[in-house]
Amino acid sequence: MDLLDKSIILELMTNSRISCQELAEKYNSTRGVVRKRINKLEEKGVIQEYSAWYSLAMVDAEFVFGHVRVQEQLDKEELVRNLVQHQMIHAVIPLVTGDILFHANVVGSEGLSELGSSIRKLDNVEDVELRLIRSDRGSKVELKRIHMQVLSALFENSRISIAEIARKTTLSPRRVKRALDDIISGGGIVLAIARNPALGSGLSFYAKITLDERKSNAENLISRIEKEFPAETWESYVSASDPVLFTRFFVNHIKNVETISNKLSGFGEIGTLETLVFYPARISSVLTRDRLGEDIIKAGFNVCQG
């Protein structure tokens, strides 16, 4: 993947309804080229689906980044399966070292405690680190019946046209557009893609960074990293409780992992650095999407498919 692929994915991660023409104009390309890039990303499984989710605020949840330290053993597959099946976890990321990272949503301090306790009880788990991550939690809004009706059509494909939404819901295009504008501006719904960059042709890794807060802050460090590695840097997860962040990189060759790690080690504001190369993530259901699907059904609508 190159810088254009990355740019397309990052845009779709925040707004899956952005058009190919808008993307082409923003990134100095053509509509046809953007459409072909999206098709290839879909075929490779990098873009896995276009869907709708509640914001974290709508379900009173927080985002957690976890690191499972695993005891030495030959087969980690059973542990990975157990984590994938955990109701709070929506992404399991096996590392080449045998340890496992994961992403989860928890509700309240009790949810966080329950998550850690349940994982520590699993076989072959040596320890688990849990960090609440600073994130845009969105807004908590009241959704009317018409909003749920439109969301029933967007749930399985948030990129479909207004005309297609109107066909699926039997609402007029004008009413669909008005409801869609409310949904997008309200901040209680996320229309985006589920993606897995590690399925592209290349390698993914996290740099686990301990920041020296006497010399910089997380925002300035992230800005410096993105400027130094514009094509390779994807996203950063900043801990809410300690000066630790996880920055995800995507590179074409294992040599690039060493090159980036060596350069990062030379940043004076970085105290310690751990390189975590990983295999493709295992993606499972996410709380914010499950809750929205349940509420659509409770409102009396089917989740539209096809």
Question: Per-residue pLDDT tens for 253-274?
Answer: 999 999 999 999 999 999 999 9
pTM score: 0.89
Residue 2: its pLDDT value, please? 86
pLDDT digits (tens, 9 = 90+) for 93-112: 999 999 999 999 999 999 99
As a whole number of angstroms, the distance between CA 12 and CA 18 comes to 7
How many structural domains compose the chain? 3
Q: Can you say how many angstroms the Cα of residue 124 is from the centroid of all Cα atoms in its chain?
A: 27
CATH, residue 20: 1.10.10.10
Residue 273 falls within a domain, yes or no? Answer: yes
The neighbouring-strand residues paired with 278 are 95, 204
- The whole domain housing 255 covers 197-278
Q: In the prediction, which pLDDT does 178 show?
A: 98
What single DSSP character describes residue 135?
-
My answer on whether 21 and 71 are in the same domain is no
Residue 251 falls within a domain, yes or no? Answer: yes
Report if residue 151 sits inside a domain: no
**What is the pLDDT, as a whole number, of residue 33?**
97
Beta strands in the chain (DSSP E): 47-54, 62-70, 89-94, 100-106, 125-132, 189-195, 203-211, 233-238, 244-251, 270-278, 282-283
Residue stretches of the chain with pLDDT short of 50: 305-306
Q: How far apart are CA 9 and CA 192, in angstroms?
A: 10
Residue 198: the pLDDT is 63
What pLDDT score was predicted for residue 306? 45
Q: What is the pLDDT of residue 197?
A: 61
Neighbours of 55 (CB within 10 A): 21
The conformation of residue 240, written as its DSSP 8-state character, comes to S
CATH number, domain with residue 216: 3.30.70.920
Are 98 and 27 part of one and the same domain? no
Residue with tokens 């030379």, as numbered in its chain: 266
The two three-digit tokens of residue 235, written as one number: 């996203």
